[in-house]
Structure 1
């Protein structure tokens, strides 16, 4: 189950992406590593850890 910080960070990230008119293709909570994964735009990949910290994957 995502933490409250993860949920808030995910909402903010998704809101920012849609404000820039980028499509969001996938939002998934990975129970193995307790992180949220977001796939958006041409090749934007974001991981959100349990503390709500976002990092971009290249």
Structure 2
């Protein structure tokens, strides 16, 4: 079986629970996504071996 490999950035969305304002909330919800990563996840969900390749910048 063929394997799908996608390349691209991962995006992270931070949001408050229940649509509170930042000043009203003591926590944040984290959601990861991005077009390329979503394609890899969808293809893997269909049973095709899939991977996503990305690179994170070094932390200073």
Same fold judged by TM-score > 0.5? no
Q: Greater Rg, structure 1 or structure 2?
A: 2
Provide the TM-score with structure 2 as the length reference. Answer: 0.28
| TM-score for both structures, normalised by structure 1 | 0.29
Higher relative contact order (CA 8 A, sep 6+): 2
